[in-house]
Amino acid sequence: MPKIISTATADAPYILPQNEIKNFTYNLFSGSDIDIERLISVFDNSEIAQRHISVEPEWLAKEHTFKERSDIFSEVSLELAKQAIVECLAGVNITPAKIDNIIYVTSTGVMTPTLDARLFNELGFNAHIKRLPLWGLGCAGGAAGISRAMDIARAYPKENVLVVAVELCSLTFQKDDLSKSNIVAASLFGDGCACVLVAGDENELSANEKCPELIASLSTIYDNSLDVMGWDIVETGFSVVFSRDIPTIVKENVKPNITELLSMHDLGIEDIKHYITHPGGLKVINAYEDSLGVKSGTLNISRKILKEHGNMSSPSVIYVLDEFLKNIKKVKAGEYGLLSSLGPGFSSELVLFKTS
């Protein structure tokens, strides 16, 4: 079976306490037609302490064109991706030239050639590396990238696959958007980059005994749910679409999705010992717990990443995975785990794994 060999993360350069972002948002929208006095409480109820962003806070209060945002995305995403990839590969002592496949995941910036091609020139990847850019999967992108990496490594067991997910959500902030969704997004999203190395079972990297084995995945898209989450494309960039129904959708659909995947492998909810869950927000984490009936503390790593980074969209679940792997030596072999994310579509991505 394919294995997760290594992970790494790279934080955006500016650290902002949640209270500072709250005050900025309150001052920006005071006097506008939005009921900021009522909506500002979402900052206090988020359980987020701080977030990393890619620009100075003053940048967010000014007008910017789509091109300005894209230029910053191109520059910052490249630097963060390089940092994460170098750390990820150094951890297992291989060079970029040894990478067979690269999957690049994002939903917050557009460039052609894509970031993976730019990384080729910066890091010295193999000239025959197979590239798979994934755009528009939002928060589901990290889990989807790992799932596609598993598929490739299973089909080509001698090869390895590098997944790099980078999102600069701060660049999408629209200062003139008076929607509730914009305020909620301002209270929740941050920037970050994360990477995962997956290898097939005939690859020499798979000899590491403590690397989790990837067993199976399940992708699900829900009927008539296009308006739950995503972007509206406006002249100045991306304007967030963010439904209040997301926690309810999670509560109603997550358990059936998970049960469907587990039943294919003669497993039940009770067999899952580890949850690598995308920290989409406090209400989303609570909805997972309520739906699955898991014991208190099961999703503590997700809560930790939410507290320290907010929701970074696709990299977030890899941040959770990275934190989990830091203590992998303390985990018993043969235990089942589940990696889970939800995103635009509205869709679910699940990956079943087993500790070794």
Q: What is the dihedral of CA 45, 183, 321, 83, to 10 degrees?
A: -130
- Residue pair 103/149 in contact (Cβ under 8 Å)? The answer is yes
Q: Catalytic site residue 139?
A: yes
Q: What is the dihedral of CA 301, 309, 73, 179, to 10 degrees?
A: 110
- Residue pair 92/205 in contact (Cβ under 8 Å)? The answer is yes
Q: What is the dihedral of CA 182, 21, 280, 166, to 10 degrees?
A: 90
Cis peptide before 346 (omega within 30 of 0): yes
Among residues 88, 139, 169, 195, the one annotated as catalytic is 139
Buried b (16+ CB within 10 A) or exposed e, 94-107: bebebbbbbbbbbb
| Residue 120: partners with Cβ closer than 8 Å, 6 or more residues away | 127, 129
Q: What is the dihedral of CA 285, 290, 293, 299, to 10 degrees?
A: 10
Where in the sequence numbering do the catalytic residues fall? 139
